[in-house]
């Protein structure tokens, strides 16, 4: 029985990681207009400062970056619904597996298991926040 609990735990963790990775990847692939990456704006300021760009260069580079952003958004627009759908399905699988595993655990293990999942979700949220800034206006990125 202990061996099957171990397999079940590994399956859940695998499903959770795969679902999280899929969701994270899908989220990163499409730049939402409601958020902007601080790193990209910092990159703009950095190249402006380190390369000592003049006004004409800054304007031209901004135009290039805006056009690049527009093209990339257009490339990913057709697949965004599929990515969102896959992400939602992965969440359902993850939740179902989590509940199935919890049925195999005793009460103290359930509490610990929920804490493990909560910690993993917080780590994922921290990674997302690292790449985005809340309340930012839509600006092209500078990668």
Quickly count: other Cβ atoms within 10 Å of residue 24's Cβ: 15
**Of 123 and 1, which is predicted with more confidence?**
123
**Per-residue pLDDT tens digits for 19-44:** 666 666 665 555 444 344 455 667 77
Q: What is the pLDDT of residues 61-80, one digit of tens each?
A: 888 988 988 898 889 889 98
75: which 2 tokens?
């490339």
The length of the chain in residues reads 143
For tokens 């949220």, the residue is 125
Question: What's the pLDDT tens digit per position in 39-51?
Answer: 566 777 888 999 9
* pLDDT for the residue 1: 59
Compute the radius of gyration of the chain from its Cα atoms.
21
In angstroms, the CA 80 to CA 35 distance is 16
């Amino acid at each position: 029985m202990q061996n099957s609990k171990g397999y079940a735990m590994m399956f859940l963790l695998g499903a959770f990681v795969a679902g999280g990775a899929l969701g994270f990847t899908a989220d990163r692939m499409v730049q939402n207009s409601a958020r902007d990456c601080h790193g990209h704006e910092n990159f703009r300021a950095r190249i402006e400062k380190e390369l000592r760009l003049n006004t004409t260069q800054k304007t031209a580079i901004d135009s290039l970056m805006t056009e690049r952003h527009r093209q990339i958004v257009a490339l990913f627009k057709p697949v965004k619904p599929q990515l969102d759908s896959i992400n939602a399905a992965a969440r359902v699988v993850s939740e179902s597996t989590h509940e199935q595993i919890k049925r195999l655990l005793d009460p103290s293990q359930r509490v610990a298991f929920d804490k493990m999942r909560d910690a993993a979700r917080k780590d994922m949220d921290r990674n997302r926040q690292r790449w985005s800034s809340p309340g930012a206006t839509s600006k092209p990125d500078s990668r």
